[in-house]
Structure 1
Amino acid sequence: MIVGLVVACEVAFWVLLAVGLAVRYLLRMRRTGVALLLGEPLLEVVLFVATAIDLRNGAAPSWEHGLAALYLGFTVAYGPYLIHRLDGHAAHRLAGGPPPARPPRHGPARAAYEGRLWLRTLLATAVACALLQGAIWYVGEPGALRMWQYAALRVLAVHGLIALSYLLWPKKAPASAAGRPGEDRTPTGR
């Protein structure tokens, strides 16, 4: 049941996001579109409550409950970022707004960008581990939940190593990006 609810929440997240952006930019109903986008966190509340009820009704802690906690952590940390990025793209494509800023590709700016993404992963891990620890205390046995805490910490460590690699070995701009005399340096839109 919990896995189906996680999948349903994920699908509903993207559907609600698409509908909210379409209402906001295609139908020009800004307030209604914003209201739909603000409904996104309700999906996470539904999943959290359903998981807590499932555990309270005597379900043994299993991988489904761990997956729900990781999903909740991810959406808390990365949900606003995804909505903001997609809103910028929709404003550009559907309403003639300016093109959204692209993430930096090279040098210290890219390392800082990767560091900020890692901080989001840290937040996701903290939320997921706190939810999992709360579930362990709630049911009185770790079961499969402790394994999910370790999995979240491993993801955090791997992402941290990747972010650190951008700091220690920054990507250098290609020679053609430095600009040669007479070269057109306007963006190509890719």
Structure 2
Amino acid sequence: MSKIETNKEQKRNSLLDSAFTLFIENGFNKTSIADIVKKAGVAKGTFYLYFKDKYDIRNHLISHKANQVFQTAYTELRKHKEIEDFEEQVLFIIDNILDQFAQNHNLVLLISKHLSWGFFKDFLSVAPSKDTPAIFTIYETMLAHASHTYRTPDLMMYMILELVSGTSYNTILYEQPVPLDQIKKPLYEVIRGIFSQYRE
């Protein structure tokens, strides 16, 4: 990566980091573009080189943070060569992501409310960098090496994504109806049931 490209990426990341902090501290509606650029230490015109408006930076921010969380989980998975089964790989990634969320409630507040399937396919199909494949690309690669084939694998993952998102939100933030460590076992049993229903 050239010095110019590195500088551009640093400015973009600075804007994203500033937006994340301000959205969490002040709320999305009370945060202005002027607030974001001031905290990032860049000119207002720089903002518009990367984002159309405040909604656009929010969407890119969710994608950016979701990518970071997923890539961290996937990196950990790759250290465990013994986990070869596709379904167990997915469960490992989910478990790691839930643990990351438990350590950072702000991520839950940002991502869980907005990470729909349409968003997942649109934004997370884009590679975060030249050296890092998109989340959806990684999923398709894992799926291609699975020992089973699955009918409508997109629908299968939609069901799992919605289940995990809906189940984890309250249990991580409020320990309701039970703490996270108590929800994991029944949650993973349900996910295994979804896998079995979609196997061909």
TM-score, normalised via structure 2 length: 0.29
Q: Which has the higher contact order (CA 8 A, sep 6+)?
A: 1
TM-score, normalised via structure 1 length: 0.30
Whose Rg is larger?
A: 1
